[in-house]
Amino acid sequence: MSQQSASIIIARSPDDVFAYMDDTAREHEWQPNLKSAEQDPAGPTRVGTRKSYTNQFMGRDVENTYVVTLLEPGRRVVYETAKGSAVDARSEILCEAAVDGTKVTMSITGTPKGVLRFVPSALLEIAYREELNAALSRLKKQMESGG
């Protein structure tokens, strides 16, 4: 099992950051390895919403479907992978007011399945950490440049 968490300060309001991160159509702007993203049902995210992703991870296409299990609009969302995903994972996004804008914390806990379970855990942790930090850096850049 791998656990990763990272935070960044973004000079925008928590509501702005949360809404931007929740917009499935814009996730490619800040998620570096995202190839496709779909949401079901369309419209505002709510508990039970399913988000399906194809990501490039360690040179492979990885497909996961996440289900929203907890939602505090404008502040916090928790996702858990659905059956048939490439990992068993729990992911959380937390947006908190900070002196200079919003502190965004992204956390993921997961266990790889399928072919990924053969990758040494130390390599997976490095890859997860790098992807998480890259996503937060891109998010900051997008949000602070008017995204």
**HSE on the CB side for 80, CA within 13 Å?**
6
**What 3-state DSSP class applies to 126?**
helix
Q: What is the pLDDT of residue 55?
A: 87
H or E segment to which residue 124 belongs: helix 121-144
Mean pLDDT of 70-74: 97
126 backbone dihedrals φ, ψ, rounded to 5° = -60, -45
> Quick one: pLDDT at residue 85?
81
Q: Is the pLDDT of residue 121 over 90?
A: no
Predicted local confidence at residue 114, as pLDDT: 64
Above 90 in pLDDT, residue 50?
A: yes
Number of domains in the chain: 1
User: Does residue 124 surpass a pLDDT of 70?
Assistant: no
Which CATH number is 88's domain given? Answer: 3.30.530.20
